[in-house]
Structure 1
Amino acid sequence: MVLNIAERHKLILDKLKTNGFVTVNDLSQEFSVSLVTIRKDLKLLEERNLLFRTHGKAIPADPYITEHHVNVKEKLQTKEKNLIAIAAGLTLEPFDSIIIASGTSVIEFARNIKPVEGLTVLSASLNTSLILSENPNIDVMQLGGIVRASSSSVVGPIGEKMLAEFTFTKLFLGVDGIDLDYGLTTTSSMEASLNKEMIKAAQKIIVLADSSKFGRKGFGRICGLDDVDQIITDSGIETKTKNKLFELGIDVTIV
């Protein structure tokens, strides 16, 4: 039976949803059409933003992250970020000295912090510092540096040098992508560089990331997953991803 173009496209999308990827060779053999025909099909579906083509196959979405303004990102996965933030707050202990990096997940964390005795916070995010400064029971330090307009946070060598002067009990890190092989990434190389210094300065690394961040990559690599102690995410995480993180010895908290 010969399929028309609409039927092929429907089957391609169904297989993509079931398997997580499709290959040009497999589709060509299954539909008994040429490789050129399948490539044209995938190109048309990509133009409609229904998949992303890469190296002889297609996956559901573009794994590479485009930078968006913090005000836009705050409107995404709001419920998940709130639950993650609440769970992150439960990890705080008396006399903790913590770093809060940049990103909308950690801003939401700041909104949900219930101060513990002797809490000190060093923040890279201007929004986070303003939120926490309203609480007299938290000692807030603002990291210095160049302000990134898109994230309302600081980057650069001034902040990196400042981090070298302190030691912290925990780092709460927001990321743009988590790849099981490549590690943690962000859209900015300068932010990635600052995050690396934060990791050096902290005893425990806690990543706050909703499940949409898994399987994605940003321009700047922060670190491998072997540097991560805990990831707090939502129930949308795939079972195979969760199991791999457990195998790596990472404490995975699912909200």
Structure 2
Amino acid sequence: MNNVERHQHIIKEVNLKGHVSVVELCETLGVSSVTIRKDLQFLEDSGLVYRTHGGVTKQNPYQTDRSVIEKEKIHEDEKRIIAKAAANFVTTNDSIIIGSGTTTQFFAREILPQGHLTVVTSALNVTLELLKYINVEVIQLGGPVRHTSSSVTGQYAIHILNQFFCSKLFLGVDGIDLDYGISTTSAQEALLNQKMIDVAHEVIILADSSKFGRKSFGKIADFSNIDVIISDDIPPAFQELFDSLGIKTIVCK
């Protein structure tokens, strides 16, 4: 098989699977890892694929910051079904934390509070969604507001969280990477998310399938800090890792 044929095969596999490892390509094509890595470099330089740690993917693995208005319109159906599944975790007289993001905004819309519900949140859009319920006490964290996420960050918000401990944290993320863990585009938001994890008994990640295989600037946590992941689809390599760590996964279709 010549260079052109190998390149065509790699592109076909990446388009079919989304991500292909160097080891898999070596075994399939019967060539060395050095040859495969040269092929991947050529394809990346040509703008056809993106290299990742140990493989190649069809989508840019580095998530960049976008406005909340823009993100709300992306993967709407997936976010809606994830939000409905997540709403089942809210129990009577619960006390929860909701992080920022459009998926968590969809989640707030799906909550049907039973009894008295206390919600601590950094997200202004989440607060606005929940104000319609008289039996929901919303504690809005304070601090500088990020325009792109419609949420607050900073030491003041972190300090306020020291006063609480909640049953669950519902957290949206921008990237989920096998080695890097979960991340977001803002370092300040990542620090606030870390504090949210510290003051929650159970950490529930809400992420559509486009977030897998991506990493963002601000690392939030390793997978050892996560209890549940809700998504519309989870790639096999991630599912295998989550199973080995005892992380509960819910795939919504």
TM-score between the two structures when normalised by the length of structure 1:
0.86
What do residues 34-58 of structure 1 show as CA deviations (whole Å, max 9, x unaligned)? 98787445422x1xxx311457964
Q: What runs of 5+ residues in structure 1 fail to find an aligned partner?
A: none
**Percentage identity across aligned positions?**
43
Q: How many corresponding residue pairs?
A: 246
Distance 1:195 1:21, change over 3 A: same
Please list, as runs of the form range in 1=range in 2, the aligned pairs for 1:48-87 lying within 5 A after superposition: 50-53=48-51, 58-87=56-85
- Structure 2 counterpart SS, 1:161: helix
Distance 1:183 1:10, change over 3 A: same
- 1:166 positional shift: 1.1
In structure 2, what is the Cα distance between the partners aligned to 1:70 and 1:106?
A: 11
- 1:12 positional shift: 3.2
2:203–2:228 contact (8 Å) kept in structure 1: yes
Identify the residue that residue 20 of structure 2 maps to in structure 1.
Answer: 21
Question: Of residues 207, 228, 231 in structure 2, which corresponds to 1:230?
Answer: 228
Identify the residue that residue 175 of structure 1 maps to in structure 2.
Answer: 173
Distance 1:195 1:39, change over 3 A: closer
The Cα RMSD (Å) is 2.7
2:7–2:39 contact (8 Å) kept in structure 1: no
In structure 2, what is the Cα distance between the partners aligned to 1:252 and 1:55?
A: 24
- Structure 2 counterpart SS, 1:21: strand
- 1:177 positional shift: 1.0
Distance 1:195 1:103, change over 3 A: same
- Structure 1 counterpart SS, 2:229: strand
The AA in structure 2 aligned to 1:64 is Y
1:177–1:213 contact (8 Å) kept in structure 2: yes
Larger Rg: 1
Distance 1:9 1:168, change over 3 A: same
Identify the residue that residue 189 of structure 1 maps to in structure 2.
Answer: 187
1:16–1:22 contact (8 Å) kept in structure 2: no
The AA in structure 1 aligned to 2:92 is P
Identify the residue that residue 45 of structure 2 maps to in structure 1.
Answer: 43
Q: What runs of 5+ residues in structure 2 fail to find an aligned partner?
A: none
Identify the residue that residue 131 of structure 2 maps to in structure 1.
Answer: 133
In structure 1, what is the Cα distance between the partners aligned to 2:205 and 2:154?
A: 21
Distance 1:8 1:250, change over 3 A: closer
1:207–1:230 contact (8 Å) kept in structure 2: yes
